[in-house]
Amino acid sequence: MSDIMTPMNSMKKYPIISLEVFPPKSENAELELIKELETLKRFEPEAVSVTYGAGGSNKDSSIGLIKKLQSELGFNVMPHFTCICSSKEYIDNYLKEILDLNIRDILALRGDEPQDIEVCYKDFVHANELVEYLKSKSDLNISVAGYPEGHYAAENLQKDLENLKRKVDSGANSVYTQMFFENHHFFEFLERTKQIGIDVPIIPGILPIVSIAGLLKMSELCKVEVPKGLMKKLETYQDDPKSILEIGVDFATEQVESLINSKVKNLHFYTLNKAYSIQKILNGVKFYQSL
Ligand code: FAD
């Protein structure tokens, strides 16, 4: 482990982190987000990824935020790029906007079918088609989504894995995973990806829990397992939001330490646009204590 973890041995800092944010709905909320992210700058995130509504539903706010993160905070921004219901022409135009912003990295996704859209084009049905198309049109570094516990709509884990391989074979350079709360799901996923011949970096997605309602909604939506012991603990403090936040921090810190101890070098944090939990987690992780 020491070869990758000891800062003295290496110019590179591990773990390398990326932060996922979503475009806020108001100018005030955007200012707040910029302030929050400013406090995470010292952890030198490799990228800040910006979510994107399926069908381009929040395109203007995404682009606006990307520009601010680049110009005001100097971050390397990795826009998410969805394709469901989008026409080829739309994808071409969005690609041009992204390239005009000197973006190097994107996360290519299918997205979930938007409810409020009049016309749903079928030019791109799955993310592998988007990866292939964007690779043919640019030299962007393209990442894709992976699901340690399986995508909610997948027939089974094996089929889902084969579909992930399709994305990598189409040119994806790395995989960012959906959140998980049991590290064994991630380690088993790593094993299965290796067996099927996926040899690009797989970056675990960590979601620090901030509320019980949010956790239940997300675990139901994405079909991820929540450990019973964790749920029980959260329920004990259900009327105490501060304690819930701290339980979330402690749980994610342990998760992160176990990943780092297993030589995981990169971590992707679902920030929910807040810095507090991420700060506490990274301050609690051994390597960062000296920063
Ligand atoms: P795909 O790879 O197309 O997979 C979708 C389903 O189809 C899976 O069940 C898969 O097994 C199956 N499949 C894949 N390829 C094929 C094929 N060729 N033939 C048959 N079946 C196939 N959503 C957003 O709207 N905006 C975001 O910004 C966003 N960011 C995300 C970030 C991360 C890190 C993750 C993990 C997810 C994110 N999502 C986002 C959610 C994502 O869009 C949904 O999970 C969506 O349902 C699937 O997207 P995908 O790119 O994985 O799709």
Distance CA 76, CA 222 (A): 28
Which of these ranges, 107-111, 158-162, 200-204, 260-264, has the smallest mean pLDDT? 260-264
Amino acid at 238: Q
Pocket mutation for ligand 1, best pick of 51, 116, 163 (most atoms within 8 Å of C-beta): 163
Is the C-alpha dihedral spanning 210, 180, 216, 33 positive or negative?
positive
Residues 275-290 pLDDT 10s = 999 999 999 887 766 5
Measured in Å, residue 112 CA sits from the centre of ligand 1 at 7
User: What is the pTM (predicted TM-score) of this model?
Assistant: 0.95
Instruction: State the catalytic residue, choosing from 20, 36, 132, 149.
Output: 20
Alpha helices in 123-275 (DSSP H): 127-137, 157-169, 183-196, 212-222, 228-236, 241-261
Tell whether ligand 1 has an atom less than 6 A from the beta carbon of residue 51.
yes
Pocket mutation for ligand 1, best pick of 59, 78, 110, 158 (most atoms within 8 Å of C-beta): 110
pLDDT of residue 117: 79
* Residue 26 predicted with pLDDT over 80: yes
| Alpha carbon 207 to its chain's center | 9
The question of whether 36 is a catalytic residue gets the answer: no
